[in-house]
Amino acid sequence: MQRNILRYLVLFGLLVFIGSCTKDNDDVINVVDQKNTSDFDAQVVTEWYDLIKTLTIETVGYTPPVAARAFGYTSVALYEAVVPGMPDKVSLSGKLTDLNLETQLETDKIYHWPTVANAVLAKMTGYFYANTTENRLTAIAALEEKFNTEFLKENGAEVHEISVKLGQDVADKILAWSETDGGKDAQFTNFPKEYAPPSGEQYWVPTAPGFQSALQPYWGSNRPFLKANFEGDALPPPPPPFSVEENSVCYQRALEVYDVVNALTPEQLKIAQFWSDDPVTTATPPGHSISILNQLIKENNTNLDIAAEAFAKLGIGISDAFISCWKVKYQTNYIRPITYINKYIDPSWMPVLNTPPFPEYTSGHSVQSGALAEIMTDFFGDNYQFTDHTHENRTDMDGTPRNFDSFYALAEEAALSRLYGGIHFEESINLGLEQGYQIGRNVNALNLDK
């Protein structure tokens, strides 16, 4: 009997001791139970961006600037939602223009970062693609529910609910911020009727075959993510002075486009078509860039933390690239090759690609590809060999995957494709690349380390 009493006393003492340790060390135990963002793979992210790529193709109004903006805000929101689980990283709040974001976690709760990512991406996608087809709205809801079902079963109701709430709260704050940048509802206002381009033989005019009016002529006035992308070296010099003299730079550049297009090799034609990335049939040039990053994240089995940071920086770079490029385009209003060549060299000449409805200088392909090259090199390294599978399932063109020895090689090919297509002059291509490189360097200069 005494032995049993002694056993009970010892057991009671142990329970009291353990209970007191638990009470005094709540934070330590929560740290052990709470996993970091880096402990998870990026499957939830890659599946959402695969869907976003499809939505960009199929949703009315998703021109390149509009798509770039959506990618930018969606990717920043993803990073901000999961950065609390990245102990070595800091928020973008205070680093991006007018972004003042406070994310408060409940210290006695556990968060599941893939659930947070699913919630924020679902809300951002539903907002930006609200005007998509009924089938695609169903696809958005289905993808969100797929991950919710899986994560709820894995983590239980309490962890799931608080994680969903965090993701949705961050999305709400980023969306409220986005609505003050000048680009809200831009998919409905691509061709403002009140805009009148300047008049003069040196200026852009609508071109064959569609003779569309100017696309997003005020886009360059939108708020950038980084003010540095609109200062100093980030802006290119003016284009060559307009001239019809045969010895002028302007005439010689037009003659170069004329000669190159008239003597295109099969490989050059393939390059022109591969990088054309026209709206409606593709996810646009910024969607092509997002596709490349998504492929690399899958191939490298990248963890959620790295994926979130990479998408955030690429999204910032691409979005600012289109604002910067459009600012220059509508400041210079430079004439397109088809207009110059038809008027001063050959009235029957046509390029192999349709000329898009906005001024020539600088090349949007060059600027956004240059930004991509700098940002992706910072993540994956110099001389990184990879294959771009973006168009491999297309039947309307040769979408054979293309191999590259570096991101700079990709950027140069994408930029040069516009010469082969008869879309841009040499200065627009080369100086556009430099414009993009500087934007990318500015993004890379964002210090997110603690």
User: Are 226 and 367 in the same domain?
Assistant: yes
Distance CA 55, CA 60 (A): 9
Tell me which DSSP letter residue 394 carries: -
pLDDT of residue 151: 98
User: Are 249 and 146 in the same domain?
Assistant: no
Number of domains in the chain: 2
Burial of residue 367 (CB within 10 Å: 0-12, 13-18, 19+) is buried
pLDDT of residue 128: 99
- DSSP letter string, 140-151: HHHHHHHHHHHH
Establish if 53 belongs to a structural domain: yes
Task: Read off the pLDDT of residues 11-22 as tens digits, 9 standing for 90 and up.
Answer: 444 443 444 443
pLDDT band at 107 (very low <50, low <70, confident <90, very high): confident
Distance CA 120, CA 114 (A): 10
User: Are 130 and 269 in the same domain?
Assistant: no
User: Are 64 and 173 in the same domain?
Assistant: yes
pLDDT of residue 189: 97
Establish if 159 belongs to a structural domain: yes
Residue range of the domain that includes 74:
34-178
User: Are 237 and 161 in the same domain?
Assistant: no
User: Are 390 and 311 in the same domain?
Assistant: yes
pLDDT band at 233 (very low <50, low <70, confident <90, very high): confident
- Residue 239 pLDDT > 50: yes
Question: Domain boundary at 178, 205, 240, which?
Answer: 178
User: Are 335 and 251 in the same domain?
Assistant: yes
User: Are 266 and 171 in the same domain?
Assistant: no
Establish if 208 belongs to a structural domain: no
pLDDT of residue 73: 99
Query: Look-up: residue for tokens 């550049």?
Result: 253
pLDDT of residue 347: 98
* Phi, psi dihedral angles at 303 (to 5 degrees): -75, 165
- The whole-model pTM stands at 0.92
Distance CA 309, CA 238 (A): 34
Establish if 339 belongs to a structural domain: yes
- Residue 1 pLDDT > 90: no
Question: Domain boundary at 178, 208, 237, which?
Answer: 178
User: Are 149 and 298 in the same domain?
Assistant: no
Task: Read off the pLDDT of residues 351-384 as tens digits, 9 standing for 90 and up.
Answer: 999 999 999 999 999 999 999 999 999 999 999 9
pLDDT of residue 32: 53
- Residue 341 pLDDT > 90: yes
CATH number at residue 157: 1.20.144.10
User: Are 125 and 241 in the same domain?
Assistant: no
CATH number at residue 232: 1.10.606.20
- Residue 6 pLDDT > 60: no
Question: Domain boundary at 146, 178, 210, which?
Answer: 178
Establish if 192 belongs to a structural domain: no
